[in-house]
Amino acid sequence: MRAKILPVLAYMGAAATLVLAALTPFVLMGYFSRLVAATGIHVDPVYTGGTVARTLPRGAYQIDIYSPVLPHALQHVDPFVQIAFRPVSALPTHFSEAIDLDGDGQPDVQVSFTLPANAKLRPAGDVVALNGKYQSFRIPVAGSFSQLMVEANGAMLLRVPLAEGNQP
């Protein structure tokens, strides 16, 4: 009995793989992609910067303050907070503002930078910590995932590392 059923099942399976191959480019690719996305997986916040905690409207542009990103135990990245200035096209050439990062009503860092006229050049300026929670650094910075200033997706992204004593 088994010897008769197995080949039938095998040929049915083989036919199913042919159907799968035929449907993949037209139907299944989109379905599988949505299925993967629907699992709720997300890209590590070390790369994306995490989620926006508050938005500060500034007329033509806005400043998005992200929740602090706390890397995993053995990850070679320091904790940081991302700030996004968007859109870049609406930013003033010279920007300087004291920004409250943790939402306690007190400014935490003084961010100052100048956007170069030539888009290929990098902005110059500095980030000055106004309390012991964050680290100061000059812009342009050599760059790491926790300390950078780059333009991406139409926004100027700034990452301010947490001070060592303030890290979990």
Name beta bridge partners: 61.
58
Q: Which of 83, 99, 109, 157 forms a contact with another protein (CB under 8 A)?
A: 157
Q: Which of 1, 57, 76, 105 forms a contact with another protein (CB under 8 A)?
A: 76
Taking CA atoms, 158 is separated from 42, 84, 135, 148, 150, in Å, by: 21, 6, 13, 6, 7
- Asked if residue 52 binds another protein (CB under 8 A), the reply is no
Tokens representing 51? 């989620």
Neighbouring CB atoms inside 10 A of 84's CB total 21
Q: In the window 125-154, what residues touch another protein (CB under 8 A)?
A: 142-145, 148, 150-153
CB of 7 to another protein, least distance (A): 5
| Nearer Cβ to another protein (1/142) | 142
- Asked if residue 14 binds another protein (CB under 8 A), the reply is yes
Residue entry with tokens 């799968």 = 20
Q: Please tell me the distance from the alpha carbon of residue 126 to that of residue 139, in angstroms, as a whole number.
A: 5
| Nearer Cβ to another protein (15/98) | 15
- Residue 84 near residue 108, CB atoms below 8 Å: no
| Nearer Cβ to another protein (30/132) | 30
CB of 85 to another protein, least distance (A): 14
Taking CA atoms, 159 is separated from 8, 35, 78, in Å, by: 61, 32, 11
- Asked if residue 96 binds another protein (CB under 8 A), the reply is no
Query: How do 137-139 and 124-129 pair as beta strands?
Result: antiparallel
CB of 116 to another protein, least distance (A): 15
Contact residues: another protein, CB under 8 A: 6-7, 9-11, 13-15, 17-18, 20-22, 24-25, 28-29, 31-37, 39-49, 71-72, 74-76, 142-145, 148, 150-153, 157
